[in-house]
Each structure stands twice: as structure tokens, then as C-alpha cells.
């Protein structure tokens, strides 16, 4: 394990102290649990949702048959 420092609002730290006392564990254990849970449930957001209004309703049908004309370099 590696040691690190966090900065948190006093109200959050007070709640963590109470939770740790009620559970009979340390604040460090609670924070590790929360970090592990967050890492397990976090999923990266897609770069693009593929949503947009092109104005064409048959885009998917035409995609297989139409090919763009290459533009000249300059």
C-alpha cells in the first residue's frame, strides 16, 4: 500500500469518524472501501454517443452503398 493525503470538508470527516466508531473500524478502512467501490463501479464515458440530427432518415441504409468522393490534397 501507498500512503497519500486527502483534503475533505470538516462535516465529511466528522461523519467518517462517527461511521468508523459505529463499525469499530478505522477511517482509513472506510476510505479504502469507498475508493474500491468507486473504482469497481466507474465506467468511462463514451467519447461520442453517436447522436445527432443529420436530417436524413435513411442514413444507415445508404452507408453501405454510397462512398464519398476523395477531395484533392490542396
- What are 19-48's pLDDT values in tens digits? 999 999 999 999 999 999 999 998 887 776
How far from chain centre, in Å, is Cα 44?
4
Task: Note the pTM of the prediction, 2 decimals.
Answer: 0.56
How high is the pLDDT of residue 48?
66
- Percentage of the residues of the chain whose pLDDT score is greater than 90: 54
How high is the pLDDT of residue 60?
66
Q: Residue 30: which of 15, 8, 9 has the closest Cα?
A: 15
52 vs 35: CA distance, rounded Å: 36
Quote the DSSP letter at residue 55.
S
How high is the pLDDT of residue 46?
72
Amino acid at each position: 500500500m501507498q500512503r497519500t493525503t486527502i483534503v475533505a470538508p470538516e462535516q465529511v470527516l466528522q461523519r467518517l469518524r462517527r461511521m468508523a466508531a459505529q463499525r469499530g473500524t478505522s477511517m482509513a478502512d472506510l476510505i479504502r472501501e469507498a475508493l474500491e467501490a468507486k473504482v469497481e463501479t466507474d465506467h468511462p464515458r463514451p467519447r461520442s454517443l453517436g447522436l445527432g440530427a443529420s436530417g436524413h432518415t435513411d442514413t444507415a441504409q445508404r452507408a453501405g452503398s454510397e462512398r464519398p468522393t476523395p477531395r484533392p490534397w490542396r
